[in-house]
Structure 1
Amino acid sequence: MINIGFGPNIILGIILWIGVTLLYLLRIVKPEVARDEDIFFATIGLLYGCILIIHGWRLDPILLFSQVLIISSLLVAGWENIRLRGLLANTTKFKKQKKQK
């Protein structure tokens, strides 16, 4: 039996889905920033979001709060990681242009 009730777990799962989908789409938009392990993390994140949506109604408030903290720290760390990858790619590109001149 699958019991899906609308609550904060649905919102949290959808936010996680959006975050890992953006990580997956990074490969299409900026391939120089994407890495091969991003597909693995996106798949695990989508699975984690599905589990939150389907079984999140079982979470009591303190466990839900811990999931909110884990997912928010995960998304912030991922955002910073991607931003630093972009800065590294720009620096490498700038050094190559400077070397060619």
Structure 2
Amino acid sequence: MINFSFGPNIFLGIIISFGVLILYFLRHIKPEVARDEDIFFATIGFLYSCILIIHGWRLDPILLFSQVLIIFIVLVAGWENIRLRGLIANLAKLKKKKKK
């Protein structure tokens, strides 16, 4: 049975979907920062967001709070990872220019 009602689970699923869409389209926006494993993590993130949207109505408050914390930690760690990839790409460009 699928019980679809708007609640915090829908909001969390949309947030995760938006985050993995950014990760997926990173390949087209900044190809020097993208990695091959980003496609895998984007697929897993979409699967997780679909499960959260469809079956999230069964979450009790403490489980919902744990999902909020997990999503927040994953998004912050992902943002930091992408930012560090950009810094490494910039350092590699500077090193390459310095050698010439």
Same fold (TM over 0.5): yes
In the alignment, does 2:14 pair up with 1:28? no
Q: How far does residue 3 in structure 1 lie from its aligned partner after superposition?
A: 1.1
* Cα distance in 2, alignment partners of residues 85 and 30 from structure 1: 11
d(CA) in 1 for partners of 2:43, 2:90: 28
CA distance in 1, matches of 2:4, 2:37: 31
Correspondence for 1:81: 81
* Length-normalised TM-score, structure 2: 0.99
In 1, distance between residues paired with 2:92 and 2:42? 26
User: Post-superposition shift, 1:50?
Assistant: 0.3
Q: How many pairs align? A: 100
- Number of the residue aligned with 1:93: 93
Q: Deviations over 1:77-96 (max 9, x none)?
A: 00000000000000000110
**Residue identity (%):** 78
Gapped regions of structure 2 (runs ≥ 5): none
Distance, in Å, in 1 between the alignment partners of 2:44 and 2:31 is 21
Aligned residue in 1 for 2:68? 68
CA distance in 2 between partners of 1:82 and 1:53 (Å): 26
Unaligned runs of 5+ in 1: none
Task: Tell me which amino acid in the other structure corresponds to 1:37.
Answer: E
Deviations 1:28-68 (A, max 9, x none): 00010000000000000000000000000000000000000
Query: For residue 20 of structure 1, what is the amino acid of its counterpart?
Result: V
**1:31 aligned partner, one-letter code:** P
Which residue does 1:14 correspond to in 2? 14
